[in-house]
Amino acid sequence: MKVDGRQMRPIWLDEISQTVKVIDQRQLPHRLVIAELTTVDKVITAIQDMYVRGAPLIGATGAYGVYVAALNTRVSSNDEAFFLKECDRIKSVRPTAVNLAWAVDTVLAEVSQNETLADKTNTAKAAAARIAELEAENCRQIGVAGLELVKAVSEAKNGDTVHILTHCNAGWLACVEYGTATAPIYAAFEKGIDVHVWVDETRPLNQGARLTAWELGKHGIKHTIVTDNAGGHLMQHGMVDMVIVGTDRTTRTGDVANKIGTYLKALAARDNDIPFYVALPSSTFDWQAFDGLKDIPIEERDPNEVRYVQGDDAGSLRKVLISPPDSSAANPAFDVTPANLVTGLITERGVCRADENDILRLFPEHP
Ligand code: MRU
């Protein structure tokens, strides 16, 4: 997508240095800083500390991480064991987004066909690039499918503004290109449909207020940041036409794990008869998971993310303590919205109901 006229992705391979580069999203919207991931430790820190975040981008970073692991493996009798251990370290950094393990395993399956370290390195580089392109194309298709839903609401309102609420950042910053939840919004905007987005701030790390607002603003899309608790009120007063969110892992039965607070939005949407859609590429389905509450691991993050807030203070990024210094805090990073609260899943193969039969109608290769 374009940032001030310049084509950008949140991850890319530098053609000249052949190094993996990412936007350091911790510093947005205040400054656009690029980080270089030259070692496995740097890849792990980038995922753990959320320079990169969002399920498809975590996957793409993991895929490029296999390339970085191969680059940093020395030829020796032990090189295969060392390389695989490094890939395992990458795979386990963030547990909820299933894309990470999927992407690392996909690259490793291709690499396992090679004998020499040089071949493994080249194969990993090519496979990671393919995964990034695949996620970009999947998100484009999600936009094509989701556009029809936004168009239908716009027509029902005789062209009046369509108000869409979203939670966290499921935009291009989270996904290589277009985003998942934002892809239908960008597609609708391109078609001239009048859209306005309610952006949940998304405590504790404010991915909505910092990242979704930044993306939408750069694209010229009308948006308003609201506190995480405002959604129910807006819905009760007819100010939300539809909710679209992303997901980090969705079971084959349609239960959806996404950023903490998503479940409460789904409850409020149901109580107010507002459609609640989840947009995802097929890499975010966990085909082995049947029950979201039992089968999806929920990441617990550092409680200090709750106790402190980061912002820009006259050009410097500062963290300030907002709680009593000795109060404890808990930080579950995701929650599960049961399938029965989900109106539909928007995938690269079209829209389906959040139930196993309809999901398998689109993805019959996972019986
Ligand atoms: O903790 P984060 O910022 O990685 O959480 C991201 C989300 O919850 C997104 O909604 C999800 O990954 C979908 S991204 C298209």
Residue by residue, pLDDT tens for the chain (367 residues) are 888 888 899 999 999 999 999 999 999 999 999 999 999 999 999 999 999 999 999 999 999 999 999 999 988 877 899 999 999 999 999 999 999 999 999 999 999 999 999 999 999 999 999 999 999 999 999 999 999 999 999 999 999 999 999 999 999 999 999 999 999 999 999 999 999 999 999 999 999 999 999 999 999 999 999 999 999 999 999 999 999 999 999 999 999 999 999 999 999 999 999 999 999 999 999 999 999 999 999 999 999 999 999 999 999 999 999 999 999 999 999 999 999 999 999 999 999 999 999 999 999 999 9
Give the residue range(s) of CATH 1.20.120.420 domains in the chain.
2-134
Q: Which of 93, 94, 168 to mutate to test the pocket of ligand 1 (most atoms within 8 A of CB)?
A: 168
pLDDT of residue 206: 98
- 208 within ligand 1 shell (Cβ under 6 A): no
Give distance in angstroms: CA of 248 to centre of ligand 1. 6
What is the spatial distance between Cα 66 and Cα 68, in angstroms, rounded to a whole number? 5
User: Ligand 1 within 6 A of 139 CB?
Assistant: no
Q: Is 4 annotated as catalytic? A: no
Rounded Cα–Cα distance for residues 339 and 289 (Å): 13
pLDDT at 214: 97
What is the pLDDT, as a whole number, of residue 2? Answer: 83
Does the Cβ of 182 fall within 6 Å of ligand 1? Answer: no
Q: Is 180 in the pocket of ligand 1 (CB under 6 A)?
A: yes
In short, whether 168's Cβ falls inside 6 Å of ligand 1 is yes
The pLDDT score that the predictor gives to residue 5 is 86
> Range(s) for CATH 3.40.50.10470 in the chain?
143-362
Å from CA of 13 to ligand 1 middle: 23
Check if the beta carbon of residue 336 is closer than 8 Å to that of residue 293: yes
CATH annotation of 143-362 = 3.40.50.10470
pLDDT the model gives residue 195: 98
pLDDT of residue 78: 79
What per-residue confidence (pLDDT) applies to 4? 87
The contacts of residue 115 (CB under 8 Å, 6+ apart) are none
Helix (H, G, I), strand (E, B) or coil at 173: helix
Ligand 1 probe mutation, 247, 278, 331, 334, most atoms within 8 A of CB: 247
Match domain 2-134 to its CATH number in 1.20.120.420, 1.10.10.10, 3.40.1190.10, 3.30.300.30: 1.20.120.420
Q: Does the Cβ of 87 fall within 6 Å of ligand 1? A: no
Is the peptide bond between 29 and the residue preceding it cis, with omega within 30 degrees of 0? yes
Structure tokens given for 334: 């995701």
Q: Give the chain's radius of gyration (CA, Å).
A: 20
Rounded to the nearest whole angstrom, what is the distance from the C-alpha of residue 55 to the centroid of ligand 1?
6
Q: For residue 349, give Cα distances in angstroms to 88, 166, 170, 341.
A: 31, 22, 18, 21
pTM of the model: 0.97
